[in-house]
Chains A and B, each alone.
Chain A
Amino acid sequence: MVFGKPLPLLFGQLLLGLINGSFYAILSMGLAIIFGLLRIINFAHGAMFMVGAFVTWGLLTYLGIGFWGAIICAPLLVGLLGLVLERVLIRPIYKLDILYGLLLTFGLAQVLQGLATNFFGVSGVSYDPPAAFARVVNLGFMYMPLYRGFVVFAAIIVCGGTWFVVEKTRLGALLRAATENPALVQSFGVNVPRLLALTFGGGVALAGLAGVLAAPLYAVNPGMGSDLIDTVFAVVVIGGMGSIGGAILTGFGLGIIEGFTDVFYPPGSAVVVFVVMAIVLLARPAGLFGKAA
């Protein structure tokens, strides 16, 4: 017993918090990468997450490709969709006021969600976890469904990998340089428009990957992305969009806070992230890891 709550309950909520945090971290990281270079807040990020989950389901249902195939194919397909959308819709508005990007992607999210509702209905479809993970292990202090442990593990790998690419590789260095001064980078012979397109594709591919991970956990439904996106926005405001590491830490941290709020004050769990956001705005308007704008 800790604070009058049984220990397995606390660990269970910690795991739940880590899982939610995994999705917050992957999604807010993708938003931060896209925003850093393209100066566009992708409101359709949640919709891309939803598309990733439906693609995972579709690969199994129509092509017989299982979870392990989907975890490779679905992000690629979502990334490809991202490349097309960038070329057709987003490239024409780079020069416009920053808010038009938000309006455009807001509309795009509605289109994607509406289409999914038309084809699959509001309640959506269900997807089983891979057979190897469809069991529960006894950790001594709690029982853990193996798939949930895998999600947290996979999220840490994905976040760590993305952080490494952006912060430690030549491609990442180009990306960061183009964020600072695109004209200068272009004058060195780098194809900046292609870099922008790839960044958008890569960012939404991350959202697609999160969708693959989510498919066996939640009901695959058209609203799954829009339910998540406002929390992810709050995470982004709290963390500031300045750093990848900041987005990851904030995502996991808020997932855990949300999980524990559910133990101690259940009605508060839906709003705790937003309340934290309000407090951070009062104390540090630029966000925990943000540079003053």
Chain B
Amino acid sequence: MFGFSRAQLISLVILIAVVIAAPFFVYPIVAMQVMCYALFALGTNLLMGSVGLLSLGQAAYFGLGGYTAGYLVQSLGLTPEIGIVAGGLAGGLLGAVFGWLAIRRQDIYFAMITLALAQIVYFGAVQLTGFTGGENGIQGIPRSALFGLFPLANDHAIYALVAVVFLIGVVFVHRVIHSPFGQVVRAVRDNEPRMVSLGYRPASYKRIMFILAAVLAGIAGGLKAMVMGIQTLSDVGIATSGLVVLMVLLGGIGTIFGPIVGALIVIAMQYYLAPFGAWVIVIQGGIFVICVLVFRRGIVGELAYRLKSPL
């Protein structure tokens, strides 16, 4: 149905059930954080999985989305949906420029270039204090009413908004991957010279995927700023770029549900291991290393492999 395989459809139903049930069992803020990062990771996986490009600078779009939404809602008094959409647009615009530059090189170089470009955004965020608040970040972003009508101050109200955006994101990413466009992108990944000889322009396909990933990152960043009411420098830093890559790797590169499971585990880990300070970083790094050495399919990827069905 809608291009979903049987296993994917069952997973989607389970996911929707979990999303609906979650706020009654866990702290809604944490559940919302998981969904924001999952949306961010879904976009990153479009690059890692379908295009086969590793970006180490996705935090630039995530952070810019958050700053844009935070600034518009707090300083200009606009409504949340405008902030979130503008966050996605800002991420996408930056992605268009940076993608245009980074696509000129492949694999290793691509990763280093995306990292270096993201550092421009980071240092920009440090210095443009009028927009970003510099070291202090943007604090106390109000949860104004959605469309000026529906109040979001209550955690459960904003939860509904985040859940809807997140689930639309999941279906959208699935559609992109299984569309003819997604097929071409995967064909480019597997054999670029052949696609060139068939008359395709690989660069423009990669660029569009890069922009889509940046838009999703921007929307996720904007949502997260609304949820937390605060936007700080750590959201544009290299650590966040690494975190989202870890989520994709741990969940399963190239799967639909992998990034969601990855986001759930990584955020839960950060939340529960917070009292142990820097050991969280050590453990995260260790998971990175173990995933690369012995668990390259990731959790959902391994499950899909056992079930012989894409997930």
Chain A residues with CB under 8 Å of chain B are: 35, 41, 89, 92-93, 96, 98-100, 102-104, 106-115, 117-118, 226, 230-231, 233-234, 236-237, 267, 270-271, 273-275, 277-278, 281-282, 285, 293
CB contact under 8 A between A237 and B116, given known A109-B285, A113-B281:
yes
Within the complex, the shortest CB–CB distance from B167 to chain A, in Å, comes to 29
Shortest Cβ distance from residue A35 to the other chain B in the assembled complex, whole angstroms:
8
Contact B112 A236 (CB under 8 A): yes
Cβ–Cβ < 8 Å partners of B289 in chain A: 89, 104, 107-108, 111
Could you tell me if A117 and B292 are in contact, using CB atoms closer than 8 angstroms? no
CA distance A99 to B242 in the complex (A): 14
Q: Taking CB as reference atom, which chain A residue is nearest B111?
A: A102
Cβ of B54 within 8 Å of any chain A Cβ, yes or no, is: yes
Contact call A271/B285, Cβ cutoff below 8 A: no
Q: Does more than half of chain A's interface fall in helix, strand or loop, or is it mixed?
A: helix
Known A-B contacts: A107-B285, A110-B285, A111-B281. Give 16 more (CB < 8 A): A93-B293, A106-B242, A106-B245, A107-B246, A107-B288, A107-B289, A108-B288, A109-B285, A110-B281, A110-B288, A114-B280, A118-B278, A274-B117, A281-B101, A281-B104, A293-B109
Q: Are B123 and A271 in contact (CB under 8 A)?
A: yes
B292 and A234 contact, CB distance less than 8 A: no
Contacts known (A117-B278, A233-B112, A234-B112); A282 close to B101, Cβ less than 8 A: yes
Task: List 28 A-B residue pairs with CB atoms under 8 Å apart, sorted by A's residue number.
Answer: A99-B54, A99-B108, A99-B111, A100-B292, A106-B288, A107-B285, A107-B286, A107-B292, A108-B289, A110-B284, A111-B281, A111-B285, A113-B285, A114-B281, A115-B278, A117-B281, A230-B115, A230-B119, A230-B238, A233-B112, A237-B112, A270-B127, A271-B123, A274-B120, A275-B120, A278-B117, A281-B101, A281-B105
- Report the minimum CB–CB distance from A107 to chain B (whole Å): 3
**Nearest Cβ distance between residue A168 and chain B, in whole angstroms?**
28
Q: With both chains docked as a complex, state the minimum distance between the C-beta of A133 and any C-beta of chain B, in angstroms.
A: 32
| Complex Cα spacing A162 to B285, Å | 31
Shortest CB–CB separation between residue A125 and chain B, in angstroms?
16
Q: Which residue of B lies closest to A99 (CB)?
A: B54
A226 partner, pick from B101, B111, B238, B245, beta carbons under 8 A: B238
Q: Is there contact, CB below 8 Å, between B112 and A103?
A: no
B106 beta carbon closer than 8 Å to chain A: yes
B94-134 vs A, CB cutoff 8 Å, 1 = contact: the mask equals: 00000001001111110111011101100110110000000
Contact in complex: B292, A103 (CB < 8 Å): yes
Instruction: Give the 4 A-B residue pairs with the shortest CB-CB distance, closest first.
Output: A107-B288, A110-B285, A114-B281, A114-B282
Would you call A41 and B112 a contact (CB within 8 A)?
A: yes
Q: Smallest Cβ distance from B242 to chain A, in angstroms?
A: 6
Bound Cα distance from A274 to B113, whole angstroms: 9
Residues of A close to B279: CB separation below 8 A: 114, 118
With most chain A CB atoms within 10 A of its CB, the pick from B105, B108, B291 is B108
B124 cross-chain contacts in A, Cβ below 8 A:
271
